[in-house]
Structure 1
């Protein structure tokens, strides 16, 4: 008999987004995800399967592109730059997610965020 999950997977994925935005996908350690979540490593793996599963669960919680907060946009940038090029699941997510976005507006918004971080 498995134990019943005592946390909301979607809310936890949102809570863990800053770990990825703060360190990038590769720099985000499972140990830090465990610390920030307050869960045991086994509970995270049981819920999401992997670090990638946590990241994808975060992607699934994003609002429409026009309603992204700055922190959520940072998460999108990490996904586009670090994860999507090497992962077909994340690449496919972004193809669908960005399909209706105004590409010029999105490029300006992303570019502005990246430039602001260089100052």
Structure 2
């Protein structure tokens, strides 16, 4: 609940830039999807604002503008979801391994299509 209250406060302040440090980590997947779709994502309340999102919620990555992959404190890859998947580098390898390991069942249709 703290996570949701903090996010609500941030939205209320109507800033130009939002730094979001894993705001979906403390909520279940259903609530996380609702928060992303209605607040953080490209159709959410913050869609006209600059949003820097640090997350481990891979199911939302196809919907973000740019992905910056960090490894050992340095940028290892940068691009859109499609660009990084086409590159077949560390990001795509990580994502495929993550899905295999976790049996991620809540992949959205776009991500499933991009992986095939």
Q: TM-score, normalised by structure 1?
A: 0.36
Compare relative contact order (CA 8 Å, sep 6+) and give the higher one, 1 or 2: 1
Q: Which has the higher helix share?
A: 1
Q: Which has the higher strand share?
A: 2
